[in-house]
Chains A and B, each alone.
Chain A
Amino acid sequence: MKRLEAIAAIHGRLQDCIVVTIMGAVAAELQSLGHRPNFFYLQHAMGLASSVGLGIALSKPAARVVVLDGDGSVLMNLGGLTTLARYRPRNLTHVVFDNESLLSVGGFPTATATGSDIAGMAAAAGIPRTATVRTLDDFTAAFDAALAADDLTTLVAKVEAVGPAGFVTDLGLLENRFQFARHLRGLPETP
């Protein structure tokens, strides 16, 4: 499974969600499929996308929040899994695209290449729903199930270590940030 195919398969579902991505390939690929004002790309600060998602999920309980994370980023903030589990925002779906490498900086292997299991660590941290999927059909089914379950889910999608040629897009970081904040603040407070 390629990450771009996986994002494309859920792109329609993301229209109704608040989406936070990590930097690099994930951000560039989601933008290539179509940017929306409800998408925020954290273009640095590796590890913190899930924390930003938690801050939004706790502040906007009526919103459905999706974080598109990666193995390298999760490994930089493993403690964040315990914080997610502790507050268990039922409106947060945490997708981790695991290509077992730091693709954008030379493709060096991460620890998931040698057996570290992110879904296993998420489960052990106390996240109530976790899964690892390897095919596009399994990914879309698991993603839909996570949205329908209305509970905190970490869904690890094993993907090929391929990405776009470049990561810089014409969407300015602050343009994205202020557009996203304006969108979020316009959402209703209660379901």
Chain B
Amino acid sequence: MPVSVDASRIIYDALKACGVSVVSALPETWLVHLIRMAEDDPDMTLVRLAKEEEGVGIATGAHLAGARSVMLMQNHGFLQSINGIVSCAQLYRIPLVMLISHRGWFGERDPWQTEGGLVTIPVLDALRIPYETLDARDHVAHRIAKAMTLAHSTNRPVALLLGRDLMWEDG
């Protein structure tokens, strides 16, 4: 499976450097290494979700209790979570940091991913959720740190789109 272990490690280390101690996640192909890293880390609380919207609630509880957390999910999981994002994270001003694999975008071979790929950025824009794409190793740590800072200064959701050029090694 050509999902990049090295890129996943850079992302994971950047999350750790930001003080993240809770990760809620629903697996998808591009996230397998990141989830395993969280699983193998005794200092990380990994919450495996049945459906992504639960993760908004878990991140809310963790934040209210003073813990830093992130959600890991595919863009279809982000689309699944919209009401939770609006009616929990935005309504209650929660610094929800979402790492979203941007499937169905340039280079996608799976036809079933393509509709979600088309609407992900328009939906982020409609929700006024600021986002940046992580698509090269050299900016990963910096952009994750900036996303975390913005989420906590605004008390609002912030998204990082994980791009194919970063996550997938055969292009």
Contact = CB atoms under 8 A, between A and B. Distances in A.
Contact of A83 (B22, B54, B59, B91): B54
B83 A45 contact: yes
A53 B61 contact: yes
Interface residues of B, number: 30
Interface string A27-54: 0000000000000101111111111111
Contacts of A45: 56-57, 83-84, 87-88, 91
Contacts of B51: 77, 79
Contacts of B67: 59
Nearest to A65: B61
B122 to A, nearest CB: 23
Given A50-B57, A79-B50, A58 B88 contact: no
A57 B58 CA distance: 10
Interface string B92-110: 1100000000000000000
B126 interface: no
A44 B91 CA distance: 8
Given A48-B84, A83-B49, A86-B48, A59 B65 contact: yes
Given A40-B64, A60-B65, A80-B50, A55 B87 contact: no
Interface stretch (A116-124, A136-144, A177-185): A177-185
A174 B92 contact: yes
Q: Is the interface of A mostly helix, strand, loop or mixed?
A: helix
A87 interface: yes
A184 B66 contact: yes
B57 A177 contact: no
Given A51-B54, A55-B22, A79-B51, A43 B91 contact: yes
Nearest to A79: B50
Nearest to B67: A59
A119 to B, nearest CB: 19
Contacts of A51: 53-58, 60-61
A82 B50 CA distance: 7
B54 A56 contact: no
Interface in A162-186: 173-174, 177, 180-181, 184-185
A83 B22 CA distance: 15
B65 A56 contact: yes
13 contacts: A44-B91, A45-B87, A46-B87, A50-B57, A54-B61, A56-B65, A58-B47, A59-B45, A60-B65, A83-B49, A174-B92, A177-B92, A184-B66
Interface of B: 22, 45, 47-51, 53-67, 69, 83-84, 87-88, 91-93
